[in-house]
Amino acid sequence: MTNRKTLFFTAPKRLEVCEDKLPDLPNDQVLVQTIVSAISAGTEMLAYRGQFPNVPVDANIQALGGRFAYPLAYGYACVGRVIETGKDVKREWLDRLVFAFQPHASHFIAWPDLLIPVPADIWAETACFLPNTETAVNLVQDAAPILGERVIVFGQGIIGLLTSALLAEFPLEKLVCVDAFDLRREAALALGVSAALDPTGPDFAAQAAGMLGTGADLALELSGASEALNAAIRLTTFSGRIVVGSWYGEKQVQVNLGGAFHRSRIRLISSQVSTIAPELASRWDKPRRFEVAWNALRRIQPEKWITQRFSIEQAPLVYRLIDENPGETIQIIFDYSSL
């Protein structure tokens, strides 16, 4: 009988790695041994800090189940290999590399329909970026950039970097990225963006305005900071668009809708990956968007942004690092090879 190690958020800033015996494998399911799982810092910090709202978890991720409440097994970027199949499952699943929207755990049992086979030319460490890449694809689709536009992206964590990488493929006039941390600005500059600015610098407003001329046609707020949303409002031109991809959880967001905003005709657009924009839904579905995300992974190769690797037993150290020293990380993964 295989033992499983699972990470649980048990209270604000408290974590436990629990070990238990896996139940017998149902006939219609498979057993997956995890190779790597990626931490989604923005969302998981809400769980770590106790800032998640009293709402259901994403209905599209069945492995999470229920509502946000402690104790909570969370995470949604596992890549592993099928090591056992139920007797009613086709044998072709055995030994297949798969992606799953599963909480951080060394092993998990799942129905094959909830697994996404990883293409043969993509490594496990690349595949764990699939959900964030799908999110970036969704953000760009909702933003709908136009030839020659001036664009500013607030936040260069993984979602921001992936989104900037996709936007850098468009023939934009300007693509300005904003992040408070040197490591992330350097990663953005390596994408070939026009500039990567520090929002905490004394000359930020002047620098951004100088880069954007009459203002941004399009802004994306991906930092999770309300001050970034206010900066986006100030820097967006008349009738421009602001796509809000951040999830603030229970954090209170103070948005300045006075001043020039009232007459600006700026559009604030909510973007979240669980659904497809209604204007696209007749032509797009999740499988089509995943195929776009796989191709984006091949081009971008985001595994270069993995800054640290830890075992799941080191989870308390990992989340403390993200909480207290976020400037030292871009992407952290759990590596299960030592278990």
Domain assignment present for 296 = no
In what order do the strands lie in the sheet containing 174-178? 195-197, 174-178, 150-154, 216-221, 236-244, 267-270
285 occurs within a structural domain: no
Instruction: Decide the pairing of beta strands 30-38 and 107-110.
Output: antiparallel
Q: How far is CA 183 from CA 52, 129, 131, 186, 190, in A?
A: 27, 19, 22, 5, 11
Q: Domain containing 177: what range?
A: 132-279
| Cβ atoms of residues 36 and 128 within 8 Å | yes
Number of domains in the chain: 2
> Do 230 and 311 lie in a common domain?
no
pLDDT of residue 257: 87
Residues 7 and 82 in one domain: yes
Structure tokens at 316: 């308390």
Residue 198 and residue 167 share a domain: yes
pLDDT tens digit sequence for 12-57: 999 999 999 999 999 999 999 999 999 999 889 989 999 876 656 5
- Which parts of the chain register pLDDT below 50? none
Q: Which helix (H) or strand (E) holds 139?
A: helix 130-143
Q: Is residue 292 part of a domain?
A: no
User: 122 with 163, same domain?
Assistant: no
Burial class (CB in 10 A: 0-12, 13-18, 19+), 275: exposed
Could you report the per-residue pLDDT of 150-185, keeping only the tens digit for each? 999 999 999 999 999 999 999 999 999 999 999 999
Beta bridge partners of 16: 8
Give the pTM.
Answer: 0.93
Q: Residue 130 corresponds to which tokens in the numbers above?
A: 């699939």
Residue 295 placed within a domain:
no
Selection from 187, 240, 188, 245 nearest residue 212 by Cα = 240
Q: Which helix (H) or strand (E) holds 187?
A: helix 182-189
Residues 38 and 149 in one domain: no
In 10 A of CB 300, how many CB atoms?
A: 21
Residues 275 and 310 both lie in one domain: no
Distance CA 326, CA 314 (A): 17
Is 49 in the same domain as 123? yes
Do residue 118 and residue 204 come from a single domain? no
CATH code at position 60: 3.90.180.10
